[in-house]
Amino acid sequence: MEDQWRIAKHDPEWRNLFLETGMKLRESLGDLAVRIDHVGSTSVVGLDAKPIIDIQISVLDFEDVLVYKDKIKAVGFVLREENPDKTKRYFREVPGARRTHIHVRQLGSFSEQMTILFRDYLRGHPEDCLRYAEEKHRLMKLFKNEWPKYVEGKDPIVWNIIQKSHIWSQEVGWKPGRSDL
């Protein structure tokens, strides 16, 4: 299996990997998943990224994890109970499978909306994509073997882009488009 703890040039195949997994999730979850979106850096054409697919599933009843947990498990993902982020339920691939992150969030919540806004902003602002990619490359060189430091190191640029995306959203009247699946 490829080394996924690296920053790679954008690969058009990432969209196909999302579609393959997303369709399985859609089939298993049905209407429980109000939205299934390709998010994260692999969802932005031209943006260098760790080759790990991030999928956000938006549900009406986030708190009732038993409603969707087994349906996601049936597709090959395991709930990570130790996730400290209380705005999402975090699922990961079963051991030996291609690295994929599943984020289940409450439909309409701040974290759900912010994730889609961040993606949409980057899709339309190549100069910020380039800045973000350069920072990720720099941090990966510094913290190749220290994942927490790499993630923490991205905070300043991520928050800068979130601030810019917030201003942009007001200027254009942004709202989430249709679900990817």
Predicted pLDDT at 154? 98
pTM over 0.75: yes
- pLDDT beyond 60 at 2: no
Specify if 181 maps to a domain: no
Specify if 93 maps to a domain: yes
Specify if 7 maps to a domain: no
How many whole angstroms separate alpha carbon 153 and alpha carbon 143? 9
In which domain, by residue range, is 111 found?
Answer: 13-172
Specify if 177 maps to a domain: no
Mean pLDDT value of segment 123-142: 97
Find the angle CA(63)-CA(68)-CA(71) to the nearest 5 degrees: 165
Confidence of residue 1 (pLDDT cuts 50, 70, 90): very low
User: Pairing between strand 33-39 and 53-59?
Assistant: antiparallel
Domain of 65: which CATH number?
3.30.460.10
